[in-house]
Structure 1
């Protein structure tokens, strides 16, 4: 076994988000990159063993959540307004993890995405925090691709 090479894990703070291949915002946090399925239980009366079999069922994907500091950019609110007004404004989202040299190492793709919830900041006159906007996005499919 070769021991002279070291592979450190990537840092979670180097990432870029693109919505329909246009960098619309810089986000401070992205969460929800989760894919899972519901197992289907099945058993035949002639099965020799006394337990159910587990078969793969439908896949489902957790909603993505995004956080960013407020700026004068209202692109996300306009996208949400389109959805709220009944437009079918689905988009593709790419989340790219970068290495220490800011080169892409892997990408998550969310397809058929739209904003389901958008939340303005909480204000506190005695605080010193940045005004944060929260966005929750639903999507139909999530894939992972290694870059390079």
Structure 2
């Protein structure tokens, strides 16, 4: 089978999969895609200092809002699914910061308290990067995105948002 034929079959399969989804999942995928594109543009085009203030109230890195009761775990799982699916279709082009920023905007829109955590690894990062940085998004104790890679990173600051912010 030629390469164009394989690509055509892949595109058709993805379209069929998308069309077979529930309307709420389609809407969530569209919303996440828009937010990821916005986050990608922001991270690539603007200095960090200009958009970090939009993350929420800075707290200590290990801050966890334990007062949260009845977290919408179903919504959080759906958001994780949508973020990872869009990133997989984009072949992993979105960084952990972009994923966390997009997820944070979606949760803020729904009034779900959340924290975007910025962390660093004390040893060298990937490709001998002198500063191994990582970010993840959590709501209460539940890590929405970035949990797998957070091992070995020390949280520096946590930007917390509540529905009242």
TM-score (norm 1): 0.27
TM-score (norm 2): 0.25
Q: Which has the higher helix share?
A: 2
Q: Which has the higher strand share?
A: 1
